[in-house]
Structure 1
């Protein structure tokens, strides 16, 4: 899958499930729930030591049904291991130049966490594919995205933290390209996850439908 294809799929889905699991079986349950609800993009966090194995097993089982990437990638060594395990994109809470270079080398989209417009522009100039507004999105809310995009409308932005079923439409109204969602898409049964995913997707679909008519 080409870099631009990955980005297009992330933006089309609009929602990325942020997953931290200790077992492969639980990862499958979460993946099944997300897919049933219309969310086909999962970020597997490297806060747990089995992240590479989870990425590999999800990729083998679901193939093109699921777009699986790696999160909390702090250094280029971890990024390379994640890519070898099958990660199709790399997410981080910080910007790291060596990770950016490595991802560009292998044509893997990289979304670093940035806390200022200056940092976002520097990361974008270095080749980062999408900016992760982290942790500032959780503190400032949806209006943050509008403020950034007023000055830099062509900057792809992912918001992580503070996204709910009630406010997800507001994030997209303010210009976000993708949102990262944790507990709503990772806690409870597969059926509960599927219901939450469906509700989130319905909000985005409704907003996009109205915007097309404007």
Structure 2
């Protein structure tokens, strides 16, 4: 049930913030700003210093908020995946598919979201037990690519990441994407310490997402 519950939380979150912070402190402040704006899907990339500590402290801080889901991103090998999982990561994301990462995630019943670009890669990932495909980089494709994938693979769940923003997320979601990964302009204000702006942007993203999904909040 653990894996199914996490997948449900990811789908309910809808917008997953991809954090690439320069320091642990910046990451933690950014997460607080995002949560204050109503955003509940958090991917802490392992390009962030002390990413495992960021994950551990975030999960501890928000343990009473059942909507928040915290995962690890830019995971390049099984060793890093296990470090992330031991820190409490509820999902693991990589820029490519890796069978060893899939195996360790399956062992711990943690969803694995690998980056894929082709039907062949997607098929390989699905055969390894992957539940959500990270279409990466999404900026390489038009949203209509989702239709092309779902024609032979209607069962696939897709989360586009890289190039997704508040202007085009509706196109992706309306194509049936289970969620979208967002970084870029949502998190850019962290570089100047403007965390209030991140909160405002997070609220705009979530308002837009709920408008698209026609969900009353």
Task: Give the structure-2-normalised TM-score.
Answer: 0.90
- For the residues of structure 1 that align with 2:113 and 2:156, how far apart are their CA atoms? 12
Corresponding position: 1:138 with 2:105: no
Residue matched to 1:196: 201
Q: CA RMSD in A?
A: 1.6
Q: Distance in 1 between matches of 2:52 and 2:22?
A: 12
Structure 1 Cα separation of the partners of residues 114 and 146 of structure 2:
16
Aligned pairs for 1:20-59 within 5 A: 20-59=20-59
Is the 8 Å Cα contact of residues 23 and 48 (structure 2) preserved in structure 1? Answer: no
Worse overlay, 190-199 or 105-114: 190-199
Residue matched to 2:126: 124
Aligned to 1:154: 155
For the Cα contact (< 8 Å) 2:160–2:177, is it kept in 1?
A: yes
Runs of 4+ displaced beyond 6 Å? none
Question: Aligned match of 1:112 in 111, 114, 118?
Answer: 114
Query: 1-side partners of 2:205 and 2:146: how far apart?
Result: 19
Q: Which has the higher helix share?
A: 1
Please list the CA deviations of residues 74-115 of structure 1 after superposition, one character each: whole Å capped at 9, or x if unmatched. 111110011011111000001111110110010000011111
SS in 1 for 2:62: helix
Distance in 1 of aligned mates of 2:10 and 2:209: 13
Shift of 1:122: 1.2
Q: Report Cα offsets for 1:124-180 as digits up to 9, x if no partner.
A: 111112111112x21113222222123322211110011111111111011111111
Q: Is the 8 A contact 2:13 2:41 kept in 1?
A: yes
TM-score, with normalisation over the residues of structure 1? Answer: 0.91
Map of 2:77 onto structure 1: 75
Aligned partner (choices 90, 93, 99) of residue 92 of structure 2: 90
Q: Aligned residue pairs: how many?
A: 209
